[in-house]
Amino acid sequence: MEEFDVIFLDDDKKTVLANIKVEFGESAVYPGQVPTKEPVAGVKFNFVGWIGEEKLAVITENTVVVAKYEAETVAVTNSDALYNASLQNAEATNYNVVVEAGQKAVSQQKAIEKDSRTAEEIVSDIMENGQTEVGQEMDKDMEL
């Protein structure tokens, strides 16, 4: 019997997740655990199948399929989004920091408290732009 290569690629179309031999006319099944993808900018991804998976039903030639992922949708409250943001580029001279969606925001809580916007406005800016500046210039009598 003739055998063919069946290659399972990750969604970058370069990373080989598996390369198996399948006999002519047989079906191919991914031999590993469910593929995973690292979160991007705090967005998680779920594996939903293979691009070209219809070719796996009956193998008649060398076959390549590519992992397909969908972004996970999560209901996030304004409070969750605000406190799960990362604060970067904090300077000792002021309360201004950049907030990016996806990570913890604990150490620069004062910047959030000193911002003149509501939590909902800050979160809205993060959701729309992926980041926002938070805080205000320090007055001489302000303390870090």
Residue with tokens 């408290």: 113
Torsion angles phi and psi, residue 110, rounded to 5: -60, -35
Say if residue 34's pLDDT is above 70. Answer: yes
Q: How many CA atoms lie within 13 A of 84 on its CB side?
A: 11
Answer CATH for 3-71 from 2.60.40.4270, 3.30.70.1350, 1.10.3210.10, 3.40.50.720: 2.60.40.4270
Give the model's confidence band at 143: pLDDT under 50 very low, under 70 low, under 90 confident, else very high: very low
Choice between 44 and 98, residue whose per-residue pLDDT is larger? 44
pLDDT at residue 121, rounded to an integer: 73
Write the DSSP symbol of residue 58.
S
User: What are the residue boundaries of the structural domains of the chain, listed by start?
Assistant: 3-71, 78-134
Task: Tell me how far apart the alpha carbons of residues 103 and 84 are, in angstroms, rounded to a whole number.
Answer: 5
Strands 63-71 and 3-9: parallel
Three-state secondary-structure class, residue 129: helix
Q: What is the pLDDT of residues 56-85, one digit of tens each?
A: 999 999 999 999 999 876 555 555 555 454
Record the tokens describing residue 125, joined without a space: 């800016």
Strands 85-88 and 97-101: antiparallel
Task: Tell me how far apart the alpha carbons of residues 79 and 67 are, in angstroms, rounded to a whole number.
Answer: 34
The pTM score is 0.52
Record the tokens describing residue 106, joined without a space: 């604990």
